[in-house]
Structure 1
Amino acid sequence: MNDETPDRYVTFLGLDCDAKADRLYQMLQARMAGNDSPWVGYFEKKLAENTRMGHDMLRFVGAQVNALMSFFEEEDDEEALVLLHHLEYHCC
């Protein structure tokens, strides 16, 4: 990025949104591993699309908040739900 390109995350300075989104992605990957939930196929497709479009994990999280919430609720993953809530309200 050059000095003339605006940073779309400028309002997120100090919130470490990218690292938190990456952490949620790691949590998602861990939950998907060996899981037979229908959400796994959905997220595999959406993650592939996200990669193909060159989007970062924060954008993925913002676009998939409801699906992520449903999956983490299904998995009873309170830690991931707390992080998702934080990302939704402070970063997306």
Structure 2
Amino acid sequence: MTGLAKKVDRYITFEGIDCEERVRQIVAHIRSCIGDISEPSPLHDYFAVKLDEIQGRGQDELYFIGSQVNPLRELFDHHGDDAALDLLEQIEEECC
């Protein structure tokens, strides 16, 4: 072994990719952003409703994240949440 980190490839296997944990973290970022009343955005109400809907219906949060990538980028960019933007990119690249 050369000591180089092995690149994870979701097209080969999801082994080593904790998509559930990443989704849990990104949902926490969403909730943090929509709870920030000092930086209002129309996306706050949109995502508050969407999160309630998926929770109430027991829907897959990963599917939700994958279908909302562009609005999520806008939300995180609005709040300057670079960590969430990086995590979103990672989820999109490795989990969706």
Aligning the two structures, in what range does the TM-score lie when normalised by the shorter sequence? 0.7 to 0.9
Cα distance change on mapping 1:13 and 1:55 into 2, 3 Å: farther
1:82 aligned residue: 86
Q: TM-score, normalised by structure 2?
A: 0.77
2:46 aligned residue: 42
Q: TM-score, normalised by structure 1?
A: 0.80
Q: Which runs of 4+ in 1 moved over 4 A?
A: none
CA RMSD of aligned residues (A): 1.7
1:8 aligned residue: none
Q: Distance in 2 between matches of 1:83 and 1:34?
A: 19
Q: In the alignment, is residue 20 of structure 1 matched against residue 22 of structure 2?
A: yes
2:64 aligned residue: 60
Structure 2 unaligned regions, length at least 5: 1-12
- Identity among equivalent positions (%) equals 37
Higher helix share: 1
Q: How many residues align structurally?
A: 83
Structure 1 unaligned regions, length at least 5: 1-10
